[in-house]
């Protein structure tokens, strides 16, 4: 029963994360306006970029190391966090790009986000999904209260609100995982950073392929268009994540199941795919059109839905490539798709704006499906 209990909160946390992200975007636009919130997004995306770089090896590496030294896993965790903090130093560039107060509050938020995201490995290792869900809800409530207290837009105020939310969440996690504030031995090793570079490349390649659009958009779009695009793509990202949520309960078994069993699962996903995408796209249209009051053309919804289909088709096959120890195939495919996406966006955005971005994403998703299928065929 405890296993299903943990699984329930793991799924709840995964579903709640994109929903809370959408809710924050929605309230930010409603309270402060699309232009102002677009200005916040145009800066925050670079904060997220540095957080990703500083993530470096990711939690998979840490979980592997924790299992080797269960009694000293906190030493490993904090040593790894200290080592990765080195990658936060380039964020000083903010002080040369943005006004001083904006740069200062951005760096403060960046550091707090880095610390909080680092705790994800401890949460997974200790199976504290219920605690994480409660903390996420607490954090979002604090942010919404801040929106109500400060209804007039000020960029540094928004960063302070987010920073305060992360500080409270970190404080709870620190007390939870440092039993009686036990003494922790921290070591710094450049060698660990070098050894974990392959882990970084795998994660970074996937991130580039899936997130490069918002950075291109921030260059070509107005602040108003950035806000509209961000809330639209957030809705479709939730829909695109749906197949991953469906297979989460059996994810660890996919590496051991027979080809016959895997094919049966893939057929069930195909049956679910079309009705899920149709219902999901219609729901997105209703939310954006009537709740958020943003109108997009039919073609944007059509290509948004079309870009979701390949994920239902390849979500299982990606795990099989890991099973065949073909992580490099995934990594190189992701890097290649990143460059292809950039090229299509640069070609289509000047003429088609948001539609051009959605079409570019759709094309690269189908290309990724082709690469995955070819890699599996080659293995066979």
The answer to whether position 203 is within a domain reads no
H/E element, 275: helix 259-286
Q: What is the Cα 181 distance to its own chain's centre?
A: 31
DSSP assignments along 157-179, one per residue: HHHHHHHHHHHHHHHHHHHHHSG
C-alpha–C-alpha distance, residues 338 and 152, integer Å: 38
Same domain, 230 and 95: no
The predicted structure's pLDDT at residue 244: 79
| pLDDT above 70 (res 80) | yes
Q: CA-to-CA distance for 75 and 68, rounded, in angstroms?
A: 12
Distance (Å, rounded) from C-alpha 126 to C-alpha 59?
Answer: 13
Confidence band of 341 (pLDDT split at 50, 70, 90)? very high
**Contact indicator for 202, 57 with CB cutoff of 8 Å:** no
Looking at every residue in the chain, the average pLDDT score rounds to 86
Question: Residues 181, 74: contact at Cβ < 8 Å?
Answer: no
- Spatial separation of the C-alpha atoms in residues 138 and 132, rounded to whole Å: 10
3-state secondary structure at position 113: helix
Residue 303 inside a domain? The answer is yes
Question: CA separation (Å) from 250 to 108, 181, 323?
Answer: 39, 37, 14
pLDDT band at 247 (very low <50, low <70, confident <90, very high): confident
Q: Are residues 272 and 170 in the same domain?
A: no
Q: Does 300 map to a domain?
A: yes
- Is 201 within the bounds of a domain? no
Both 71 and 189 in one domain: the answer is yes
pLDDT confidence tier of residue 251, bands split at 50, 70 and 90 = low
Nearest to 186 by CA among 80, 273, 321: 80
In a domain, 331, yes or no: yes
CA angle (251 as vertex; 250, 257 as ends), nearest 5: 70
Cite the DSSP H helix spans in 119-196. 120-125, 129-149, 155-177, 190-195
Whether residues 374 and 250 share a domain: the answer is: yes
- Please compute the mean of the pLDDT values over residues 88-108 and round it to a whole number: 94
CA atoms within 13 A on the CB side of 374: 9
Based on the fold, state whether residues 225 and 86 are members of the same structural domain: no
User: Quick check: is 14 in a domain?
Assistant: yes
pLDDT at residue number 1: 47
Distance from C-alpha of 124 to C-alpha of 142, rounded to nearest angstrom = 24
Looking at the chain, the whole-number percentage of residues with pLDDT higher than 70 is 91
Apex 88 CA angle, 200 and 79, nearest 5: 70
Task: Point out the domain boundary residue: 195, 218, 233.
Answer: 195
- Alpha-carbon torsion angle 87, 14, 153, 94, nearest 10: 10
**pLDDT tens per residue, range 221-237:** 999 999 999 999 989 98
What token pair was written down for 352? 């088609």
Q: How many domains does the chain have?
A: 2
123 vs 101, more confident? 101
**pLDDT computed for residue 129 by the predictor:** 78
**At a CB cut-off of 8 Å and minimum separation 6, what does 297 contact?**
355
Taking residues 326-332, report their average pLDDT.
Answer: 80
- Residues of the chain with pLDDT > 90, as a percent, come to 48
Q: Is the pLDDT of residue 15 over 90?
A: no
Both structure tokens of 309: 């289909």
If asked whether residues 175 and 218 sit together in one domain, one would say no
pLDDT tens for 30-79 read 999 999 999 999 999 999 999 989 988 767 678 778 877 777 788 888 88
The rounded distance, in Å, linking the Cα atoms of 14 and 237 is 12
Helices (H) and strands (E) in the chain, counts: 17, 0
Domain range holding 150?
Answer: 2-195
Mean of the pLDDT values across residues 326-343? 86
Q: Which of 132-136, 144-148, 241-245, 340-344 has the lowest mean pLDDT?
A: 241-245
DSSP state of 258: -
B/e letters for 218-230, b = 16+ CB within 10 Å, e = fewer, are beebebbbbbbbb
Question: Comparing 99 with 15, which gets the higher pLDDT?
Answer: 99
pLDDT of residue 240: 87
Q: List, for residues 132-191, the tens digit of each pLDDT value.
A: 888 989 999 999 999 999 999 999 999 999 999 999 999 999 888 875 456 667 777 788
d(CA 24, CA 38): 13
pLDDT at 360: 95
pLDDT digits 0-9 by tens, 200-227: 887 788 788 778 899 999 999 999 999 9
Q: What is the pTM of this model?
A: 0.83
Do 347 and 222 share a structural domain? Answer: yes
Q: Which of 160, 195, 230 is the last residue of a domain?
A: 195
**Residue 332, φ and ψ in degrees, nearest 5:** -65, -35
Provide the pLDDT confidence category of residue 238 given band limits of 50, 70 and 90.
Answer: confident
From 137, 172, 195, the end of a domain falls on 195
Residue range 265-320, pLDDT digits in tens: 888 888 999 999 999 999 999 999 998 889 999 999 999 999 999 999 988 888 77
Q: How far apart are CA 326 and CA 265, in angstroms?
A: 21
Residues 333, 364: Cα–Cα separation, whole Å: 10
The answer to the question of residue 204 being in a domain is no
In a domain, 145, yes or no: yes
Task: Assess whether 51 and 146 both reside in one domain.
Answer: yes
Per-residue tokens: 342? 């950039």
């Amino acid at each position: 029963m405890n296993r299903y209990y943990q699984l329930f909160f793991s799924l709840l946390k995964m579903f709640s994360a994109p929903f809370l992200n959408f809710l924050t975007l929605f309230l930010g636009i409603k309270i402060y306006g699309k232009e102002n919130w677009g200005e916040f997004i145009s800066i925050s995306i670079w904060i997220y970029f540095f957080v990703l770089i500083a993530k470096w090896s990711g939690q998979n590496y840490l979980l592997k190391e924790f299992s080797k030294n269960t009694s000293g896993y906190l030493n490993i965790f904090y040593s790894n966090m200290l080592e990765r903090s080195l990658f936060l130093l380039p964020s000083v560039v903010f002080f040369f790009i943005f006004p001083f107060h904006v740069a200062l509050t951005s760096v403060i938020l960046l550091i707090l986000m880095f610390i909080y995201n680092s705790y994800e490995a401890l949460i997974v290792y200790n199976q504290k999904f219920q605690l994480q869900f409660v903390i996420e809800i607490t954090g979002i409530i604090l942010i919404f209260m801040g929106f109500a207290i400060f209804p007039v837009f000020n960029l540094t105020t928004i960063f302070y609100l987010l920073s305060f939310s992360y500080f409270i969440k970190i404080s709870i996690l620190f007390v939870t995982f440092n039993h009686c504030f036990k003494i922790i031995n921290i070591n710094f090793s450049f060698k660990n950073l070098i050894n974990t570079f392959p882990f970084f490349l795998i994660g970074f390649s996937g991130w580039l392929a899936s997130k490069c659009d918002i950075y291109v958009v921030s260059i070509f779009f107005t602040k108003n268009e950035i806000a509209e695009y961000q809330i639209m793509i957030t809705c479709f990202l939730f829909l695109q994540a749906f197949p991953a949520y469906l297979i989460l309960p059996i994810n660890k078994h996919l590496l051991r199941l027979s080809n016959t069993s895997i094919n049966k699962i893939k057929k069930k996903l195909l049956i679910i795919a079309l009705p899920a995408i149709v219902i999901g796209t219609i729901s997105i249209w209703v939310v954006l059109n009537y709740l958020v009051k943003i109108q997009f053309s039919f073609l944007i919804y059509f290509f948004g839905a079309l870009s979701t289909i390949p994920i239902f088709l390849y979500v299982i096959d990606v795990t099989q490539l890991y099973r065949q120890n073909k992580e490099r195939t995934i990594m190189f495919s992701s890097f290649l798709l990143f460059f292809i996406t950039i090229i299509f966006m640069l070609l289509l955005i000047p003429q088609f704006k948001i539609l051009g971005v959605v079409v570019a994403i759709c094309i690269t998703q189908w290309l990724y499906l082709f690469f995955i299928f070819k890699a599996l065929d080659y293995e066979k």
